[in-house]
Structure 1
């Protein structure tokens, strides 16, 4: 899965230090055993095996150079080189190759993938904030057929991004109130944006930033205080959702009829018996009344920024550019 990714929890210097220490430790083991068993080695140049000779022999053995001027002559020395030194040089090379991959090739690869991903981002949904509301929004988007790699989650919290990454989405560890962050996820080319930052002031600031960069982007925002709903609308949000108000609506409705809340939950969710659907009017519907549409039960028409209910005369003749809100049955 391509990622715009977060930094690792382990600092680069610490990870590199552990690898260097591990490599030196393995070489140190080979060096110590060669020194204590130096009687099993023979120097073909002067016949004496000194500390320098042991260091030299260990390094050329670990690096598999093997000039042949110092060689093991006893069975014990040969077995040690076979079953200990050979695995040591294998592990040392794996450590260095892994380090080169992690700190050079992988970083180059990830940067290249990020550039490709940013270049190709278009028609995606941006979710700013992956708390409770953001998580549910991502789950519901996927249920409605949105591909996980067409969802970009922005959150400064590492644990939130880990959850989003497990869902297969593209993630970016950053502050969504900043222009550079929204430009990095190509907000101007997104199809929609969901803002659920957890704080009303932060959510409103994100909406303001996004609206300045993408004047026509549909933006939905979660606002927890009723006093801030008007501010969110003024900031440029197309849809303002207050979870507490919605919950209160369901609770109040359940007191006047046992099935009202059940029906409203059907409309709100994807897998109920019925669901709400918004779409543009099609050519063969122009001039016909809203009640004549064949795809579902028409409830409302949006025309030129004004909404008209199914009971109003304006919906007796659908016009080009109308957007229809309808109730459709869920097909299992």
Structure 2
């Protein structure tokens, strides 16, 4: 597959209730209103002006003098000669002149300099994207995933949200996430967010067929990045795995587990929810085995309660023979206290 040039849609937006075109029209209207005020002032005080060319002050002369006075210091062909006219020019028209210039400068900054600056800044951010988490879809599941990631310590700037809804992206921007308004099923979109350099991908597109297509595209763009996807129909779970998803989550099935667990004891569902929540007393932690743990049983971990290991793609529980002696390269899943730091030793988060 020939690499494509990334689309430069990646952008951070400031929330604004006024569209750019309306803001521009309002500023132009305010500038002309101020010029109109100055014109009215000069017209009513035209007796204090003198035309050095013909000696007569007409309405076109006042219009000319107003524009010249607002935009420059004048050419001297029409000048205020009376004390009142000079005071009016000094204390009434000069502030108007300053406001008009500020409006023009502010508009130039917002529509030219600021846009150029933002485009350059986003290009730099895009080029340096690495180790980030890409969330596709900012609906109920996607927003909860982003909130949970932030509660677990992820910086909002390290989360990139892809969605085709401006309303959803406005909500994502309030969390501080980087957003892109695009179709996540396109290769160019995933290349624009540097998916190959991401830490993980979370797909919550809302529809199973759309989610599976996005997973398939993401796996082609980033063969080694872990992909998690929400699938609402159990029949589509095998398709999502075939498309390349590492983790397939069915919200209905998980809710069913909690409900079924609650019938076997009042504390089972509570503990399962405790493990899943960021504010619970315990949490699941995945890491690679440490060098000083090789040869020891999974139950001998000092960093937490070892419950599962993965070796050569196979899963083994703590009660199985494979868990009696850890090997280099094993991936471990342990239960650790929520307030227990996991960064004291080199770890590899999954």
TM-score after normalising by structure 1: 0.93
- Look up the SS of the partner of 2:326 in the other structure: coil
Structure-2 residue corresponding to 1:225: 233
Counterpart selection for 1:281 from 274, 283, 289: 289
Structure-1 residue corresponding to 2:68: 60
Structure-1 residue corresponding to 2:140: 132
Structure-1 residue corresponding to 2:110: 102
Structure-2 residue corresponding to 1:148: 156
Runs of 4+ in 1 over 6 A off after TM superposition: 6-9
Q: Write the mapping of 1:170-249 to structure 2, written as runs, cut at 5 A.
A: 170-249=178-257
Counterpart selection for 1:296 from 300, 304, 313: 304
- For the pair 1:42 / 2:50, whether they are aligned, the reply is yes
CA distance in 2, matches of 1:32, 1:25: 11
- For the pair 1:87 / 2:89, whether they are aligned, the reply is no
CA contact (8 A) 1:34 1:58 kept: yes
CA contact (8 A) 1:6 1:158 kept: no
CA contact (8 A) 2:11 2:119 kept: no
Q: Which whole-Å deviations, capped at 9, do the CAs of 1:32-90 have from their partners, x for residues lacking one?
A: 33223312212233321123321221112101323333222345433432343222212
- Look up the SS of the partner of 2:228 in the other structure: strand
Cα 1:76–1:224 change in 2 (3 A) is farther
CA distance in 2, matches of 1:65, 1:81: 11
CA distance in 1, matches of 2:140, 2:91: 55
CA contact (8 A) 2:308 2:334 kept: yes
Counterpart selection for 2:131 from 101, 108, 123: 123
Structure-1 residue corresponding to 2:276: 268
Shift of 1:288: 1.2
CA distance in 1, matches of 2:208, 2:85: 72
- Look up the SS of the partner of 1:276 in the other structure: strand
Q: Which structure 2 residue ranges, 5 or more long, are not aligned?
A: 1-9, 341-350
Shift of 1:168: 1.3
CA-atom RMSD in angstroms:
2.0
Counterpart selection for 1:161 from 152, 161, 169: 169
Q: Which whole-Å deviations, capped at 9, do the CAs of 1:91-127 have from their partners, x for residues lacking one?
A: 2111111121122111111110111001110000011
CA distance in 2, matches of 1:147, 1:311: 37
Shift of 1:28: 2.2
- More moved, 33-42 vs 4-13: 4-13
Q: Which whole-Å deviations, capped at 9, do the CAs of 1:199-237 have from their partners, x for residues lacking one?
A: 222211111111110001101111122222121111111
- For the pair 1:318 / 2:326, whether they are aligned, the reply is yes
CA contact (8 A) 2:13 2:173 kept: no
- More moved, 184-193 vs 92-101: 92-101
CA contact (8 A) 1:5 1:172 kept: no
Structure-2 residue corresponding to 1:78: 86
- Look up the SS of the partner of 1:175 in the other structure: coil
- More moved, 5-14 vs 301-310: 5-14
Paired residue total: 331
Cα 1:6–1:197 change in 2 (3 A) is farther
- More moved, 279-288 vs 83-92: 83-92
Shift of 1:162: 1.6
TM-score after normalising by structure 2: 0.89
CA distance in 2, matches of 1:127, 1:6: 20
